Structure 1
Amino acid sequence: MSGTAGGAATGAATLPAAPPSLPGFDGGGRFALVIIAALLVWRLVLAASVPLVPDEAYYALWAQGLSAGYLDHPPMIAFFIRAGQMLAGDTALGVRLACVLSVVPASVFVWRAAALLLDDPRAGPLAAVLFNATIFGFLGMTLATPDAPLALFSAAMVYGAARLLRAPRPALWLALGVATGLAMLSKYSGAMLAGGFALAVLAVPALRRQLLRAWPWLALAVAVLVCLPNLLWNVAHGFETFTKQGGRITAHVALRPEFLLEFVGSQIGLATPLVFFFAVAGLLPRTADAFRDRGGRRLVLVMLLVPLAYFAVHALRSRVEGNWVGFLYPLIAVAAAAGMLAIEPVPRRWLGGLRRATVPLALGFVLALGVHALVPVPGLGARDPIARMTRGWPEFAAEIEALRVRAGADLVLADNYQLTAMLTRELPGVMVEQLDERARYRFQNLPPLAARTGTALVVSGYRPEPYLEAVLGPLTPLGVVERRFRDVALKPLVRIYTVALPPPAPSN
């Protein structure tokens, strides 16, 4: 017996050490910090080098006219953009800077939330890296859209909820109320995460008992107080933002379940396939041991699944844009970390291989996406979404400017908000306005078209000519202008007209 044991011990001493199950993460958080810092630098390079997409140009207009509300969304993105412009000017980097830098506190919140919820010292750094390495976590925290501040404050909400589960102190409830209000000032879908947390409070006994105290209700009051400026703005403007966002409800639309498959596919892509796989695994009963206790698992399940249930129902009738789910990615990162850590004892080599490949594969996707954004791959043509959004705008605007000068027009009228925003950005010093949907530009205090005089250049890529003439009167065609990149035609192809203002008065 002793000989056998001794032989085993000797043999074990001569074998090479087994490779770590999660390379880089078994030694603590230093490896994670290096990855997050490298991704931050990569974001800054892209933010400074890649031209703005049309929605970013549109939100940059908001930053020039700060307001408590806008037709499309609450105002937080306008304040983020203005802060970045104060540091880096009205450049692509300045427009995006605050959104890029917000990934730092967001990563801290995800790190700390995972450390509190999961029963493994590697959970925090792993979840933070996974959040940064998903396509949404990388791209959504680089582009200047409402998704970036929403993801930041959603991560703060998840961290606050995790802290409350461990130690429900009054100050934590109030801080969670502030985070909730800021999330809703970023995008109204923050209310879905708040609703998920409210149901989680009922599902977790340690939190449910807190409802007998005043602090959860004070937190709700704080959230409403933070949102109050936008609520009052909506009251003063006929609740137009609520009406616009509420118009996405699709209960009256016929069933089209193919959109549900599209929705799932978009999340597989935005999460990257292996992160998605392990996030699903982390929500299964067999991986419950990854969590410190049942309360933490219930918290993640309810906060994640309640909004997802709404999106799934919505996707049965209408398209769900992939970025709409972005505010859930802090929770998805925690769930994916749980899935990766829970399968460690499972004696299946293919699972171990998938787990070791998860972070490198996600980083590979992020690297490839960034390189393509810097230098779009030839051959994709008009199907390339990055080239379609970012390329060809300066040349396109220069052609329109030449026609404006030739026609002697002092005003450009466009028929789409993205077209208006890009022409405004590319033609500084030229008055560019949208001829329809002028409620989008309340913050600019534009005079009505009926008060305009002189000649206007009409740039139309979306409205039919009869509509334009009904609004503006007789048009004089000047031709068409096509946006191109590498000899590939990109939308919009616009028709150019001149028109004499003011437009005719509407007939009774």
Structure 2
Amino acid sequence: MMTSSSNKTPSNNALRQQIEKWKFSIAQSPVVWLIGGLLAVRLLFILFSPVDLIADESYYWDWSRRLDYGYYSKPPMIAWVNWLSTSLLGNNEFAVRLPAALLGTFGLVFVYQLGARMFSHRVGLVSMILLALTPGQTALSFLMTIDAPFLFFWAGALYGFWMLTSTEQAGWKWPVFTAVMIGLGILSKQTMLGFFPLAGLFLLITPERRAMWGSARVWLTALASLAFLTPVILWNMQHDWITLEHTASHFSENSTTWMTQFARFGEFFLGQLGVVNPVLWFAIAFTLIAAVRQFPKLTAAERYLLCFSGVPLVAIFALSATRRLEPNWPAACYPAGVILTTAVFFGRSTLTNVFRKRDVIFARSWKTGLVCTLLTYAAITIVPNSPLAGSPVDITCRLRGWKQLAHEFDELTKNEPALKRSKNPLIISTAGRDITSALAFYLPKNPLIPHWSQDDAGVLCQYDLWDKPNLKARTDAIVITQVDPKLPNSLNNSFSIWTSLGTIEVELGGGRKREYEVYRTSHAPLPESTRVENVAAKPQTKVVQ
């Protein structure tokens, strides 16, 4: 017994020493402290933020109440994540936005790891900081949109595929990791499918990696990640391939004049300066141009980063001249671009003559990024209560007024028999998906609100795919519409009485406002003239300041 005990002691001591070593290593790691501090700031900002959910956030949250394998315009990940968070924490703004902060912040760890593996610990650390100090990354770690999970998995796949193709180990750790990252990214946003051609291009243009085109590990990784598409494909087969049709509409022919194309290109370009920060964006651009010019001498790491930054960035900018694109489209291009640019800043890249004074450009990049990030937070917290509210510089208009709309709607209708009489009162919206989802989120008890589009409009949003209530079985309802509405005939003909309860105006400042009309509807044997298009008398308008 004594011998057995003494034999275990060295092993226990070794384990204890290893744990203490890990604790010390973690405690001394600047990455851990930076990530922890950044996450704390972002969580506190979400907790005390004065703004509402934007319409996309409440829309995706509404998806989470009807879990499925696919949705009208996007894969299901955003709904699944929302369901998990709100199931644990309830239906509130913090619960909705918490995953955005977690995913956006921890995704930076992959950026650090990739930069450190390719060049040095310093390059990885500074790349992580520079990317964190961009208004785009700040916003996408605050707003729970599809980009939050997508960019997390994109960064993970970027790191995983590099490790898969650069390690000589024959194990399956990196193939499995990469397949999971790509697969979950595909379930987050269709853009993740772009990873495949970019990865293939890298293998093609890098002589020492070209043989991996025949690698079973690479092909099995690709096939395993594509298997994650199975539920999305099955769902689309049952819904006439509506997601594919919606995605294709972004690339359909859109003939415009050259003046319009130039204006769109300029608008998109200026948007990118705001998403990144002007100094860092031009630093990335000059680095990528230098990489193309000096392509023959690029290392495998530099070619990898060029493939995943410069190539898609050029394609997206070319597309921006033909149609209006959202500023977040190139978001996945910037992690690789920032790492390559940081390597140039610290002389770890083979690229030469990129900047005359790289120390000065680096200092200006992070300082400008810090200022832009602070201004982003200030714009969200200060501008709504300042004379700038509603002005062209007010970026918060999309984040304001929804809670107030729900409050005024509730005040206007809470004494209506149509709502008091039933445990499941029927509220109908014809005012678009934004208003529908905002009311569903901010009204007490989070009612399920069906949306009616025009009868000949086709499928415009997820609400058009969900089953609508049987109006013949309902005696009355409350309907919210745009001002002076043209109601869908299928809805208008379902009720014989339409009584206006009033108009709600939500003032956003600077003369900008949202206006809606609210009606009580019921079944009664009254003449056709009582329907909504002929209602003349309306109660006093309610104005929300």
| Fold-level similarity (TM above 0.5) | yes
From the superposition, tell whether residues 274 and 431 of structure 1 become closer, same or farther in structure 2 (CA, over 3 Å): same
| 8 Å Cα contact 2:55/2:437 also seen in 1 | yes
Q: State the identity as a percent.
A: 23
Unaligned stretches of 5+ residues in structure 2: 1-27, 419-424, 454-458, 529-545
| 8 Å Cα contact 1:49/1:92 also seen in 2 | no
Offset, 1:484: 2.4
More displaced 10-residue stretch of structure 1: 408-417 or 51-60: 408-417
Equivalent in 192, 202, 208 of residue 204 of structure 2:
202
Distance 2:198 2:408 in 1: 50
Equivalent in 495, 498, 501 of residue 517 of structure 2:
495
Equivalent in 458, 469, 482 of residue 461 of structure 1:
482
1:422 partnered with 2:421: no
Q: How does 1:31-46 map to 2 (within 5 A)?
A: 33-46=32-45
Aligned to 2:22: none
Q: How does 1:23-34 map to 2 (within 5 A)?
A: 33-34=32-33
Aligned to 2:368: 361
Distance 2:400 2:213 in 1: 53
Offset, 1:422: 0.8
Q: How does 1:286-301 map to 2 (within 5 A)?
A: 294-301=299-306
Offset, 1:72: 1.9
Distance 1:243 1:286 in 2: 37
From the superposition, tell whether residues 245 and 88 of structure 1 become closer, same or farther in structure 2 (CA, over 3 Å): same
1:302 partnered with 2:307: yes
Offset, 1:76: 0.9
1:440 partnered with 2:462: yes
Task: Describe the superposition over 1:383-431 as per-residue Cα deviations: whole angstroms up to 9, x where unpaired.
Answer: 3554312223333222222332354333222221110111111212345
- Aligned residue for 1:381, secondary structure, equals coil
Offset, 1:187: 0.4
From the superposition, tell whether residues 469 and 262 of structure 1 become closer, same or farther in structure 2 (CA, over 3 Å): same
More displaced 10-residue stretch of structure 1: 352-361 or 144-153: 352-361
1:479 partnered with 2:530: no
Aligned to 1:277: 282
- Aligned residue for 1:499, secondary structure, equals strand
- Aligned residue for 1:90, secondary structure, equals coil
Aligned to 1:108: 109
Alpha-carbon RMSD across the aligned residues, in angstroms, is: 3.1
Letter in 2 for 1:226: F
Higher relative CO (CA 8 A, sep ≥ 6), structure 1 or 2?
1
| 8 Å Cα contact 1:158/1:330 also seen in 2 | no
Offset, 1:290: 13
Letter in 2 for 1:221: L
1:335 partnered with 2:340: yes
Distance 2:237 2:208 in 1: 38
More displaced 10-residue stretch of structure 1: 471-480 or 154-163: 471-480
Letter in 2 for 1:60: W
Offset, 1:111: 0.7
Distance 2:113 2:329 in 1: 24
1:260 partnered with 2:251: no
| 8 Å Cα contact 1:456/1:501 also seen in 2 | no
Distance 2:358 2:208 in 1: 35
More displaced 10-residue stretch of structure 1: 42-51 or 282-291: 282-291
Aligned to 1:69: 70
Letter in 2 for 1:326: A
Letter in 1 for 2:478: L
| 8 Å Cα contact 2:383/2:394 also seen in 1 | no
Distance 2:313 2:129 in 1: 23
Offset, 1:319: 0.8
Offset, 1:144: 0.8
Aligned to 1:176: 178
Aligned to 1:84: 85
More displaced 10-residue stretch of structure 1: 258-267 or 393-402: 393-402
More displaced 10-residue stretch of structure 1: 374-383 or 189-198: 374-383
- Aligned residue for 2:515, secondary structure, equals strand
From the superposition, tell whether residues 212 and 501 of structure 1 become closer, same or farther in structure 2 (CA, over 3 Å): farther
Distance 2:35 2:179 in 1: 28
Task: Describe the superposition over 1:337-391 as per-residue Cα deviations: whole angstroms up to 9, x where unpaired.
Answer: 1342349997988643231132232122212222332333512232355431222
- Aligned residue for 2:322, secondary structure, equals coil
More displaced 10-residue stretch of structure 1: 57-66 or 141-150: 57-66
Aligned pair count reads 471
Task: Describe the superposition over 1:289-315 as per-residue Cα deviations: whole angstroms up to 9, x where unpaired.
Answer: 999952221111122233223322321
Distance 2:514 2:412 in 1: 17
Offset, 1:155: 0.2
Q: How does 1:238-249 map to 2 (within 5 A)?
A: 238-249=240-251
| 8 Å Cα contact 2:390/2:511 also seen in 1 | yes
Letter in 1 for 2:434: Q
TM-score computed with the length of structure 1 as normaliser:
0.83
Aligned to 1:382: 390
From the superposition, tell whether residues 477 and 174 of structure 1 become closer, same or farther in structure 2 (CA, over 3 Å): same
Aligned to 1:235: 237
Aligned to 2:18: none
Letter in 1 for 2:462: R
Task: Describe the superposition over 1:267-301 as per-residue Cα deviations: whole angstroms up to 9, x where unpaired.
Answer: 11111112212212322337999999522211111
